[in-house]
Chain A
């Protein structure tokens, strides 16, 4: 296994009176896609938000490239090289696609200064964005909005991309497109991907962690989990047969 990029050790997170994360231990290796699986309410989104500093851990530590970011403010975590694509996509609907990407490109002062080669690379995945470049993002379809959200995360090189349920609510044709895009992306980026769509991540993931009740209950390689239907059934309550 390659070196650890992100490490969560015994992370607990409380939201109001609720104890959501109850001792999460998770390691994300550098490169490829690490998938975080689990049933609804298992704590996957809370884990991403805790990494991002949107909710702070009440106990335990979050280390990124060896440095402690447990109590760092969200902008500092983003500046350290972590991008976040929330489940809600978080696009700015009043702004155009171009303006959405421009805001994510922190190093440039004007939209014209965005790296054209990198934009072309993004258009290679998400061709529709070029066409809708000057459209308000709020007018796009759900799939196109998801493209904007992911494009925003990769408009400049980042060390780690956190993506929360990118296929939620998308049509099967668009999901197939997403699979193709993620296959390309994982060649150059490190991604921590939260998903419930097992068939989507089974084809993409390199390593996997499964959450239940606010803890990691399994971690290993995705190939192993994809091949072991009993394990899938035990951990996720499903099998590939029923989910594909």
Chain B
């Protein structure tokens, strides 16, 4: 057997793996830069934890959307519908089980929250399957039609929420033991924000492990880069996409539950309102990149929190300004995904 070692020598040096660390440093750098501007360390800690918690919730909502775009080039402007439906579905567990919500028991509170999340993810996952089949499938490859029909889908979903749950705002009560804050010196860390950080980190680590350690995850990453080649290897990319769409919708549903409890009030527009922020996050991160989406979500939320404290008027446009600055630096986003 002939080894073609002369073509690629065995003793050739290993090519250097470039690790792009700059975007990774942005979040800690931003936080450190803001410390002298905020002035008070306890206030800075509170703002930073609040920003991270918000960022985690936005990441939950945005991570599925970025994969959906990356894998099948689908612009889903109806993604917010799953956030709304998730939040409202949670009320089916949280309102009837009010005694569990009001109980002064961590176990009962966690159980009812877990049930609400499970129910919301199940419903939004199934809804995602139907949404892909009925709304997305006819418009593959047609971006303008995708934008129009998915926005239409979101309007229909909002109106259906009005029909089912009524047009009034629904107050959503945080479980008893999740209320209040831990006090460290002068810094107050809201318990629910810490829970949101924990849930967000769990989602991120799970996604990281699935995308890097499982065959399905590798296929998703490969499909984001070159879907045609994945098909040529014998895998049905459409089936993979339906799975990703359902998972992305379920994650949006999870984000909706967490966001709804964070706001403590539900309206049908809760998903639509956050959609712009979600799109800013996935554009900043680089369309199709889960890692970029995570950093983008943290940046957007931290900037919004710091700006809200330091210059409330600037906070109104801080997300857009951040996006402009990032795109001037890296026009394809922080971690652009190589496409064929």
Q: What residues make up the interface of A, taking CB atoms closer than 8 Å to B?
A: 52, 54, 73-75, 78-79, 84, 86, 88, 90, 92-95, 99, 102-104, 106, 109-110, 121, 123-128, 130-132, 135-136, 138-141, 143-144, 147, 152, 173-174, 176-178, 180-181, 183-184
The CA-CA distance from A79 to B234 in the complex, in Å, is 5
Q: Are B233 and A106 in contact (CB-based, < 8 A)?
A: yes
Contacts of B8 in A (CB 8 A): 126-128, 141, 143-144, 147, 174, 177
Knowing A54-B228, A125-B2, A139-B16, say if A78 contacts B222 (CB, 8 Å): no
Set B7, B237, B338: member contacting A128, Cβ < 8 A:
B7
- Name, among B3, B6, B234, the residue most crowded by chain A CB atoms within 10 Å (CB to CB): B234
Task: Identify the stretch in B49-57, B132-140, B176-184, B213-221 within 8 Å (CB) of chain A at 4 or more residues.
Answer: B213-221
B199-242 interface bits toward A, Cβ cutoff 8 Å, 1 = contact, 0 = none = 00000000000000001001101100110111111111100000
Which residues of B are found within 8 Å of A106, using beta-carbon distances? 233-235
One of B6, B219, B233 near A78 (C-beta < 8 A): B233
Asked if B221 contacts A128 (CB within 8 A), the reply is no
- Which residue in A78, A143, A181 is a CB contact (below 8 Å) of B232? A78
CB–CB B340/A90 < 8 A: yes
Complex Cα distance, B236 from A79, in Å, reads 11
CB distance from A97 to the nearest CB of B (A): 11
Residues 227-263 of B contacting A (Cβ, < 8 Å):
228-237
Verify A75–B2 contact, CB threshold 8 A: no
B21 close to A (CB within 8 Å): no
Enumerate the 5 nearest inter-chain pairs by beta-carbon distance, A residue then B residue, closest first: A177-B4, A177-B7, A128-B8, A78-B234, A90-B229
Contact of B4 among A84, A121, A130, A178 (CB under 8 A): A178
Min CB gap A93→B, angstroms: 5
For B226, what are the chain A residues with a Cβ–Cβ distance below 8 Å? 90, 92
Contact A74 B218 (CB under 8 A): no
Is B185 in contact with chain A by the CB < 8 A criterion? no
Partner of A90, one of B2, B3, B228, B234: B228
Does the CB pair B229–A92 fall under 8 Å?
A: yes
Contacts A52-B232, A127-B10, A152-B233 known; A92 to B225 CB distance under 8 Å?
yes
Contacts of A121 in B (CB 8 A): 1
Within 8 Å by CB of A74, from B9, B10, B231, lies B231
Interface centre among B17, B219, B231, by most A CB within 10 Å?
B231
How many residue pairs bridge A and B at CB < 8 Å?
126
Which listed residue, A93, A103, A140, A174, touches B7 by the CB 8 Å rule? A174
Q: How far is the CA of A93 from the CA of B224 in the complex (A)?
A: 11
| Chain A nearest Cβ from B262, distance in angstroms | 34
The answer to whether the Cβ of B163 comes within 8 Å of any Cβ in the partner chain is: no
A147 to B235 Cα, complex, angstroms: 22
Nearest Cβ on chain A to B83's Cβ, whole angstroms: 29
Cβ A131 vs Cβ B225 within 8 A: no
Q: How far is the CB of A67 from chain B (nearest CB, A)?
A: 16
| Bound-state Cα–Cα, A115 to B230, Å | 21
User: How many positions in chain B have a CB within 8 Å of any CB in the partner chain?
Assistant: 36
**Bound CA span A109–B215, Å:** 7
A94 touches B4 (CB 8 A): no
A75 vs B231: C-alpha distance in the bound complex, in angstroms?
5
Is B39 interfacial (CB-CB < 8 Å)?
Answer: no
Cβ-defined contact, B6 with A75, below 8 A: no
| Structural contact, B17 and A75, CB atoms closer than 8 A | no
B1: contacting residue among A54, A78, A138, A184, CB under 8 A: A184
Residue of A nearest to B14 (CB): A135
Distance A86 CA – B337 CA, assembled complex (angstroms)? 21
* Min CB gap A111→B, angstroms: 8
8 contacts between A and B (CB under 8 A): A75-B231, A90-B340, A103-B218, A110-B215, A124-B1, A128-B5, A138-B338, A181-B4
Q: How far in angstroms is the closest Cβ of chain B from A110?
A: 7
The verdict on B15 contacting chain A, using a C-beta distance below 8 Å, is: yes
Contact B4 A127 (CB under 8 A): yes
Known: A75-B231, A75-B236, A106-B234. A143 touches B7 (CB 8 A): yes
> Closest CB-CB distance, A139 to chain B, in whole Å?
4
Q: Which residues of B contact A75 (CB under 8 A)?
A: 231, 234-237
Chain A residue with the shortest CB-CB distance to B7: A177
Q: In angstroms, how far is the closest chain B Cβ from the Cβ of A94?
A: 6
Those of B15-49 within 8 Å (CB) of chain A: 15-18
The answer to whether B231 and A128 have CB atoms under 8 Å apart is no
